[in-house]
Amino acid sequence: MPPKIEKEPIKYYSHHLDPSMKWLPRPKGTCDESYYVETVTLLVNWFRFFDKNIYDREYYEYFAEMYKEKRYLDKKTKSFRTKQMPYPIPERSEAFWKHLRFEQQKNPFQIEDYVFDEKDTVYSIHKTPNGMLSEIPDPQNRDIKSVLKIYYKRNFKLYFSREDPARDEEANRSCKFLKNVMTQKVRCAPYMANEIGFQIAKNFIYDGNSILRIPESFHDSDRFEHSLEIAPRIESWFGIYIAVKELFDGAPVLNFAIIDKLFYNAPLMSLLDYLLLIVDPNTQLDEARKNRKEQLKSGNLTIKENMFPKINELLASLKLKAASVWNPKRSEFAERHLTFIRLSKYNSHEEIIPVPRGRDRNAPIDRVSLFRIYEKNQKYIEFPRLPLVVCKSGNNEYSVPMEFLEVHEKPQRYKNRIDFAMQDKFLKAATRDPHIYKREAIEMLKDLNFSSEPLNFVERFGFSTDPKMITCEGKVLKEPSLVNKENKKINMTPVVRGFQEKALNVVPEKELCCAVFVLRDDEDREPCLEEKEVTRFYKALIDGCEFRSIRVEKNQNSPARSLLQDSQSGNYGFYKNVQLTAGVSNFRACVNDAKAMFERLPDKNNKILLFIVFSKSHWNFYGFVKQFCDVELGVASQHVTSHTAKKALNELSSGKKRIFYQIALKINGKLGGVNQELDWSENAEMTVEEKEKRKNMPLRMYVGIDVTHPTNGSGIDYSIAAIVASMNPGGTSYRNMIVTQEESRPGERPVAHGRERTDILEGKFVQLLKMFAENNDNRIPSQIVVYRDGVSDSEMLRVSHDELRSLKAEVERFLKERGKNEQIPEYTFIVLQKRHKTRFFRKIENERPKDEEAAKRWDEELKASQNTGYVNPTSGTTVASTIVSKYKFDFFLSSHHGALGTSRPGYYTVMHDDQKMTEEEIKKMTYDLSFLSARCRKPISLPTPVHYAHLSCEKAKELYRCFKKNELGTLPRQPRRKDIEDYLQTNIQYPGMSFA
């Protein structure tokens, strides 16, 4: 028995818990079936444990300490002393399993009885109060040994419920423990000396609660799959995501979901070869790369500086290896593992290094080129004209010749920002129809074979799962009553529930007047679109606006109708070649010219101005277009990428006008129009009695809140919050406010704090309440319904509690300013989670329906499912049993029908409700709001208020990136929060919804 090891108890931080923070229970009462049209059978990708009693099992937690101990002779005392060198975290896993195998040889035990979190926590099914002490001598140096000490910490039983906030630490520990057990087989495989471990390490990789399959091409470049490639040697890899859930009866289950992540696939490829792939896609073949290298060597070819930003973006944080790196501090070469930072401005001839002539501190210093240093040490640089690569190892930076660097052999995540082209390819690679999603998830679980020996950690800990998805019941809500501008009900298509109505309900009273800008990058010889392409696109777009009933110029035959024309010179507002030689100043000048031209129009009061801007999709120009047009000028703008324009023109050649009709919807929302309405149209003709009745109806304000946090590659330095609120009784017109959440220093390295901040309402909601009153005869809302996006389970109670309190304080402040005796509004607060991994699969009926239309749909769905019978849920499908909580008011809602891939339902938790709505009323309200987006003519995947909040956040991020690039260096002082918020906030004169 090893000696007992004493250690101070570990202290944990626990935040203050407000006793008033409680979950809202589900409303009592029977289900009102009148809200639904049918009941359907669904499969959900949740899996039960074989063992029904895992809550009764006891497990044991230990603290692990690992270090290397070196024995050395102290020159002063002439005695031997020891020095401890802790293992770096990336090396701890290998060291831990090495020690366990070493101890197993001395005293046989099951290695699978232990699980390690790769940092400092060990779990076991055995209690060992005395812990463990393991020492392995270094075979090459008897004065060094590797030490592992394991200290017993506690015993625990599983607890996953979030019902009691005081027990959140227990729930977090149980979730962490279970995920460590489920992924241990893959995480420890590289360090196991057996064939099973070798095969698992070759075929799978663990990354952030996910196990991903490594494609065969990673080990054999001849089998490279270009179908997975979204950028040169950057691939989409798929795998299984693992999460812990609870059923309504309290039983724990596992959520296994398909997940796709981006990885570099260039193991041990020289960095020079990889860069050639980025610069020239035609170098996929070895022979082509060899020819390019010969050109580089002779000086006939180089990497142009305009390619540096793209290269730096694609390779940021890429792990590299080099056998010969010059260390200027020690004046010697060394082998290093490195991280890519950027391409240097200098090549090996231009990089000058100070080199002392000897070891003496006062030795004279020679200034020598890096090329000469390598040459002097018989390390010849074949490509001296290529830029050096600035890399990092630890806290030190090195400049290394490109040809001496190799991509690390281990799989590496690509975590940098992706452009529009990469995004399109990624979506295509990651899109799976429901029956394919279901099949691949089951196959992945079988391939992993968690319970097989050896490495059967899952079975040893009692967590073997039944490889069958859980069945649950879904109910499909009735379609809402959408009306046109004449108050007549709009017909809808079955299943998808798209609107069969071409005209929009409310359009601007003024006639559309457009100015067109076609941008050209300084490096391009021509604008992003030819003049004839722009002319053809513009004419089709104006026709699309007319189709949607937006007022345009009556001249039917002119390709320039509704195009801005100067009343003095007769020139049109058509800027066909806006070159960005001087950055954004040329665009600013053209826009100002168009604005001045509009102001000179004698009938300008009868027209509304719209800027249409064309640019390439990979330009980081969207932010400046929106900031200058929406914020500075308050003029609506429609940005169109050249890719979208060409796609629309190709479809137009075959008679399809879908894209032009879609853009017309967005334009109407930006100009203050309303595309569709629920129950009744505000502008429809009505009797005096009806007008009086509606004037006395209680007003409801819909609010959406979203927060976006800084991440690697996001380009922002702090959290940005958006709050949007409806301005009219029908919940179809919205305004937004943008708030920065914490003091920051723009331009510095972003730090993601990972917590939802709660100060996002400070004074901003008062402004929205004032706007609401101005638009509603000075009346205030009697009901405020808030949809909050992006809150995790562990933060949900705190965030909803604090933000609701802040919201009420804002309303009290507003009412106090008004000085009237007005009733305080009733509040409903609902949290939406859309980044979960739960998926539903609808099972179509076994028998073909007798009704002709239903039978036709049945045939189509059976064919689409490849005769499996599993398809996406119908729009309006809700789930409020089996897989929901027993202690809180939650439900799933698939408000949209996924036409592409496997649809993801929204997961809603009602945190507060003064109105005492029934479960069906909450579901119906949420579903109805998904039909009101100005961007399309069918229901979207989430309620419109929170969708607009998300769009506002994304737009604000683009504006802030523009702020850092164009404005940060021009300010005389460090920008304050107000400076940044003013730069992000839409101009009050903007005619409609800038985020539409």
pLDDT beyond 70 at 15: no
**Does residue 527 lie within any of the structural domains?**
yes
Q: How far apart are CA 825 and CA 772, in angstroms?
A: 14
- Between 327 and 5, the more confident residue is 327
Q: Which domain holds residue 769?
A: 698-746+755-834+942-984
CATH number at residue 539: 3.40.50.2300
CATH number at residue 946: 3.30.420.10
Q: Is residue 197 part of a domain?
A: no
Q: With residue 440 as reference, give the H or E element that holds it.
A: helix 434-448
Looking at the structure, do residues 769 and 825 belong to the same domain, yes or no? yes
807 pLDDT more than 90: yes
70-93 mean pLDDT: 89
CA distances from 946 to 397, 574, 756, 858, 956 (A): 44, 36, 16, 34, 15
Dihedral, CA of residue 200, residue 201, residue 206 and residue 212, to nearest 10: -60
Question: What pLDDT is recorded for position 936?
Answer: 92
Helix (H) or strand (E) holding 921: helix 919-929
Residue 297's alpha-carbon distances to 48, 292, 381, 741, 802, in angstroms, are 61, 9, 10, 52, 64
End position of a domain, from candidates 359, 381, 409? 409
pLDDT for position 4? 45
| Residues 738 and 666 grouped into a single domain | no
- Tell whether the model's pLDDT for residue 617 goes beyond 80: no
pLDDT surpassing 70 at residue 715: no
619: confidence class by pLDDT, cuts 50, 70, 90? low
Say what the pLDDT of residue 845 is.
87
pLDDT at 718: 75
Q: Are residues 645 and 703 in the same domain?
A: no
What CATH number does the domain containing 295 carry? 2.170.260.10
DSSP 565: B
Tell me how many domains the chain contains: 3
- Residue 398 domain-assigned (yes or no): yes
pLDDT at 686: 67
Least reliable range by pLDDT among 5-14, 465-474, 647-656, 779-788: 5-14
Backbone angles phi, psi at 558, to 5 degrees: -80, 130
Any domain includes 72: no
> DSSP letters of 257-312?
EEEEEEEE--TT-BHHHHHHHHH-GGG-SHHHHHHHHHHHHHTS----GGGHHHHH
Give the phi and the psi of residue 693 in degrees, each rounded to 5: -65, -45
Q: Identify the DSSP state of 859.
A: H
- Kindly state the average pLDDT of the residues 442-458: 86
Q: Is residue 948 part of a domain?
A: yes
Residues 739 and 642 reside in one and the same domain: no
Mean pLDDT of 199-222: 88
Asked if residue 735 belongs to a domain, the reply is yes
Rounded to two decimals, the pTM is 0.91
Neighbours of 90 (CB within 10 A): 9
Does residue 287 sit in the same domain as residue 345? Answer: yes
Measure the CA–CA gap between 707 and 680, rounded to whole angstroms: 33
Percent of the chain with pLDDT over 90: 60
Q: Is the pLDDT of residue 300 over 90?
A: no
Same domain, 665 and 796: no
The verdict on residue 784 lying in a domain is yes
Q: What pLDDT is recorded for position 853?
A: 84
The two tokens of residue 692 are 């009086």
Q: Please report whether residue 459 resides in a domain.
A: no
Are 273 and 320 in a shared domain?
Answer: yes
Per-residue pLDDT of 842-882, as tens digits, reads 999 888 888 888 888 888 889 888 899 999 999 999 999 99
Residue 583 confidence class, pLDDT cut points 50, 70, 90: low
Residues 572 and 627 in one domain: yes
If asked whether residues 541 and 396 sit together in one domain, one would say no
Average per-residue pLDDT for the chain = 88
Do 369 and 352 meet the contact criterion of CB atoms below 8 Å apart?
Answer: yes
pLDDT at 479 over 90: yes
- Higher-confidence residue: 846 or 913? 913
Residues 577, 705, single domain; the answer is no
Average pLDDT of 277-285?
Answer: 80
Nearest to 489 by CA among 351, 681, 673: 681
**638 and 727: one domain?**
no
Model pLDDT for residues 664-680, shown as the tens digit of each residue: 999 999 999 999 999 88
For residue 44, give both structure tokens: 């959900």
Q: Which range, of 181-190, 382-391, 582-591, 889-898, averages the lowest pLDDT?
A: 582-591
Residue 558 token pair: 């002119």
Same domain, 715 and 617: no
On the CB side of 600, CA atoms within 13 Å amount to: 16
Backbone dihedral angles phi then psi of residue 630, each to the nearest 5 degrees = -80, -40
What integer is the mean pLDDT of 112-116? 95
- Write down the pLDDT at residue 18: 67
pLDDT tens readout for residues 162-175:
999 889 999 999 99
